[in-house]
């Protein structure tokens, strides 16, 4: 087994998704995933707490994409404009990952526990965005509301994106959905 080769986390995630699609989430074990990836169960558990987490990546890295973009937005950017910059950056980070995201979405949609975990991921993202906005001087309630709007926009855009047959530009779609929310409020 090539357990010391680089990229173990990505190999495990890809192997897990393949098996979840082939056999179903419940019928797939950690041992199955590790074997498919050419790694040991011990290596799996060094990377992930359990098989559920293999579908959710590194939350700090994921949230960091959004928060770094907010921090780097122009100083005079309004809160929602800073969030739009974050949605663009986050959307760009998914380029080339459409097929994987579609399969992952289907697996999550088929399992209630995974849907709940996806909701928790979204809540953590909202908190991270609100914190990043607060660091820019946005008052707490406004930061929270803006973060919630940004998270809803990204979630809706992502859902539309994975439903599409071919890969479109998620970044543009996310900003378009945020603009739809702005229009609804006007």
State the Cα–Cα distance between residues 6 and 8, nearest whole angstrom: 6
Q: Diameter of the chain by CA atoms?
A: 59
56-185 CATH fold: Tetracycline Repressor; domain 2 (1.10.357)
Tens of pLDDT along the chain (186 residues)? Answer: 444 567 999 999 999 999 999 999 999 999 999 999 999 999 999 999 999 999 998 899 999 999 999 999 999 999 999 999 999 999 999 999 999 999 999 999 999 999 999 999 999 999 999 999 999 999 999 999 999 999 999 999 999 999 998 888 999 999 999 999 999 988
**Tell me, what DSSP letter sits at residue 62?**
H
Q: What is the pTM of this model?
A: 0.91
Pick the CATH number of 8-51 from 1.20.120.140, 1.10.10.60, 3.30.420.40, 1.10.287.70: 1.10.10.60
Domain definitions of the chain by residue range? 8-51, 56-185
R_g of the chain computed on alpha carbons? 18
Q: What do you get for the CA distance between the two ends of the chain, in Å? A: 59
């Amino acid at each position: 087994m090539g357990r010391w080769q680089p990229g173990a986390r990505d190999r495990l995630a890809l192997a897990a998704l393949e098996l979840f699609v082939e056999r179903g989430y419940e019928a797939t074990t950690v041992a199955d995933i590790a074997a498919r990836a050419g790694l040991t169960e011990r290596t799996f558990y060094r990377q992930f707490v359990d098989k559920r987490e293999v579908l959710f990546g590194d939350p700090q890295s994921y949230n960091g994409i959004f928060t770094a973009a907010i921090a780097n937005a122009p100083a005079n950017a309004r809160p929602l404009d800073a969030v739009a910059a974050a949605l663009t950056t986050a959307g760009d980070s998914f380029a080339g990952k459409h097929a994987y995201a579609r399969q992952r979405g289907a697996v999550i949609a088929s399992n209630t526990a995974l849907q709940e975990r996806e909701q928790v991921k979204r809540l953590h993202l909202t908190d991270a965005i609100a914190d990043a906005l607060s660091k820019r001087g946005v008052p707490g309630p406004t930061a929270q509301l803006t973060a919630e709007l940004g998270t809803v926009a990204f979630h809706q855009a992502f859902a539309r994106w994975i439903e599409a047959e071919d890969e479109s530009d998620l970044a543009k779609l996310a900003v378009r959905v945020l603009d739809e929310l702005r229009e609804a409020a006007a």
